[in-house]
Amino acid sequence: MGKKLTVYLIDGNDNGPRTIEIGNWSGKAIHSPRSSLTKLMSRDEFTKPGVYLLKSDPKEAIYSERIYIGEAENVGKRLKQHLQNGERDFKECIFFISKDELLTKSHIKYIESRLVCIAREAQNAEIENGNTPTESTLSEADISDMEYFIDQIRLVLPTAGYVCLVATTGTHDSSLGTGSVTPESKEFSIKNKKFQARMTETSNGFLVAKGSEANPEESPSIADGWSKLREKLLKNDIWKLVGDKYVFQSNYVFSSPSAASSVILGRQSAGPIEWIDADGKTYKDYQTETLGDSEEKTDSDS
């Protein structure tokens, strides 16, 4: 089922501050460049309890963003402190409040702790927080409400350009289960004499299964981005050197079939023709057939 997401440009500038809301959700997000925060401080949203994320450039090239996650009973006052003391060198921020005064101190501490845990598990960004904040003790009903609130935060963040909570790893040993994998999801593989890997397409991207194998050696011509991603996988124990090959220790989601095949093969690779299904058809052939079937169905329905 779809969701209605409403974005309002506060100053009419597409690069400026904005509010983000989801239909039938009591929460609200304010997303702003650092340079616009001071002039926004008089807005009512800044007086409320909430959780916030500060975004800056990563120190390590294997990540796309560096994130600090915090909470405050008065978000505006806390952000003002960050602006004045200079301890957090951020370029933009986003924070979440409740429009109906739902959030208490215990609630926002719970959300903060959960977001830090989720971000660390996702391994998709540098997380600036030192220790994971203590999780508040809440009633069963409150936990249910806060988990729903967190689910909406996870929907909003990618639309604002934040990838820190987007999972790249799966938690199931035998399942290809990160993202929506349905019985119709087709499995593809790369096989040669030295190693083999399995991949399926999910709602989050192209998921390579735990236990898949990869080439530990790199071609000199491999793109710098793929080389850095291989470094990231090793550093974060997504794959480990076992004998003469890398072996995935968990499921991992790639952005494209070519990203997956290039990283696995250690060279530039055209994923749509590298990945083969059980019938020997390439991912490209499968896509062509699927699109053809879709067009035929559209013609028959019209």
Domain range summary for the chain, segments of one domain joined by + = 5-159, 187-301
Percent of the chain whose predicted confidence (pLDDT) is above 70: 91
What pLDDT, on the 0 to 100 scale, is given for residue 297?
Answer: 53
Structure tokens at 274: 């590298």
299 strand-pairing partners: none
pLDDT band at 132 (very low <50, low <70, confident <90, very high): confident
What pLDDT, on the 0 to 100 scale, is given for residue 150?
Answer: 97
Structure tokens at 104: 């208490």
Cβ atoms 285, 271 nearer than 8 A:
no
Instruction: Determine which of 28-37, 56-65, 162-171, 242-251 has the lowest per-residue pLDDT on average.
Output: 162-171
What pLDDT, on the 0 to 100 scale, is given for residue 41?
Answer: 96
Average pLDDT over residues 42-71: 93
pLDDT digits (tens, 9 = 90+) for 189-228: 999 888 999 999 987 789 999 999 999 999 998 999 899 9
SS3 285: helix
* Statement: residue 103 has pLDDT above 70: yes
Model pTM score: 0.76
Average pLDDT over residues 24-50: 96
Percent of the chain whose predicted confidence (pLDDT) is above 90: 73
Spatial distance between the Cα atoms of 273 and 127, rounded to a whole number of angstroms: 36
Average pLDDT over residues 5-21: 96
What pLDDT, on the 0 to 100 scale, is given for residue 296?
Answer: 54
Cβ atoms 229, 239 nearer than 8 A:
no
What are the distances in angstroms from CA 240 to CA 4, 62, 154, 189? 42, 17, 29, 20
